[in-house]
Amino acid sequence: MEQTRQAAGEKAVLAGLDAACFTKEETASEVSLTELQALLETAGGECVGKVLQSRPTPDPHSFVGQGKAEEIRDLVKETGAKLVIFDNDLTPSQIKALEGLTGASVLDRSALILDIFAQRAKTREGKLQVELAQYQYYLPRLTVWNEEMGRLGGGIGTRGPGETQLETDKRYIRSRIQKLRENLEDVRKVRAEQRRRRQKNDLPVVALVGYTNAGKSTLLNRLTGADIPANNRLFDTLDTTTRQLTVSDTCQALLSDTVGFIAKLPHHLVEAFRATLEELEYADLLVHVIDSADPEREDHIAVVNRLIAELAKPGTPVLECYNKCDLVPDDEIPRGSDKVAISAANGYGLDALKGAIETQLGRGKHHVKLLLPYQQGSMVAALHDTAQVLSSEYADNGIQIDAVLDETLFGKLRQYVIEEV
């Protein structure tokens, strides 16, 4: 599926409605319009004007009201804009009405985010997830945008006897959605097998999460020597990257970078990217990367925490990692056992971060030296399957093993422990 509308290279007027009846997630503000401008620039467009309307409730026809719609129309004419992008979600009828009133193409925030995701998706998995999200977004809007769906690529299918083109289009898209879900289920099975192999190797999984552009990819590169793109733009990473991390001499882990979150992230996009976001569900530790210098830091922390609560398994420990700490005064960085200040760009605080990761992963773990009698030699293979074995040596008095055990295994083997490190 190709993008139905392109923001790239186009001038756009940004608009939003701050309505008393809206929740904080639904409403628009000067701050959210600034973020919308960053999204537009990420898509390659140019902001030539902004309009923010305040009213008790949305106008059912024009959303912002007739007078404000005419003000947007005048701004469109004055600037030569081809697009009007709203910071709110719009109904199909509102989009149609606004296009008639303003004389420009109208997008909402969800459509713009989908456009960016379509540009960023590189892997087969990423492209499948974006296509699914696009179809789920556009299906209920077919009654308004039907004439544009012919440009979605791949052919819409053959019209059946007595069917309207709209009915044919909807039938094709529903069929395509089902096929995409089946393909993504195959992706989940592959990921499940990869996780099974990782569990066999007994390496804990640490997932980097955070608001988009907080510095997750830069941190992954700095910690593991990976060379994934880490540009200063929103949604630069869509596909999960996993690398082995040496936390210390006695602790190895797998470190995964995930797609960045954002306020008002469309639900169908979260659902479509479930295969990628499953990494959060199976992580042993979440490192919440926070942009210390972000003026909306606390609001963005709250956005990420809500999505963690939705996507991660209950009880997963979270380590707050305040990145870019070199850009703010020390007293603006919270302190605590579950918080650490770093600068991924220059490497400051990375040893402290590794120490905090090891502490979090080590809770409920015991680093011990065992002495197994030779008649218990069968335990050695079992330990390699169920514990992190650091070394083993066959001595005159038995098998000496240096290992990290969980609480259950430690209890079973306590009689063979000769030293707890």
Determine, yes or no, domain membership for 2: no
Check residue 269 and give its pLDDT. 75
Residues 241-271: tens digit of each pLDDT:
888 999 988 788 999 888 788 888 877 777 7
In terms of domains, do 234 and 383 share one? no
At residue 166, the pLDDT reads 67
| Residues 323, 411 share a domain | no
User: Do 350 and 271 sit in the same domain of this protein?
Assistant: yes
Q: Which residue has the higher pLDDT, 156 or 60?
A: 60
pLDDT for 280 equals 84
Total structural domains within the chain: 4
Examine residue 131 and state whether it is found in any structural domain, yes or no. yes
Residues 374 and 355 in one domain: no
CB distance 153 to 2 below 8 Å: yes
Q: Report pLDDT digits (tens) over 288-317.
A: 999 999 999 999 999 999 989 988 888 899
86 and 136, same domain (yes or no) = no
Q: Convert the pLDDT of each residue in 179-226 to its tens digit.
A: 998 988 888 788 777 766 665 556 888 999 999 889 998 999 999 988
pTM of the model: 0.76
Question: Which residues form the domain of 296?
Answer: 203-362
Q: Are 143 and 162 in contact (CB under 8 A)?
A: no
Average pLDDT in the chain: 84
pLDDT of residue 156: 25
Residue 63 has pLDDT above 60, yes or no: yes
Domain-terminating residue out of 132, 154, 188: 188
Q: Is residue 405 part of a domain?
A: yes
**Is 196 inside any structural domain?**
no
In a domain, 219, yes or no: yes
Domain boundary among 160, 188, 216: 188
Domain boundary among 61, 96, 116: 116
pLDDT of residue 158: 30
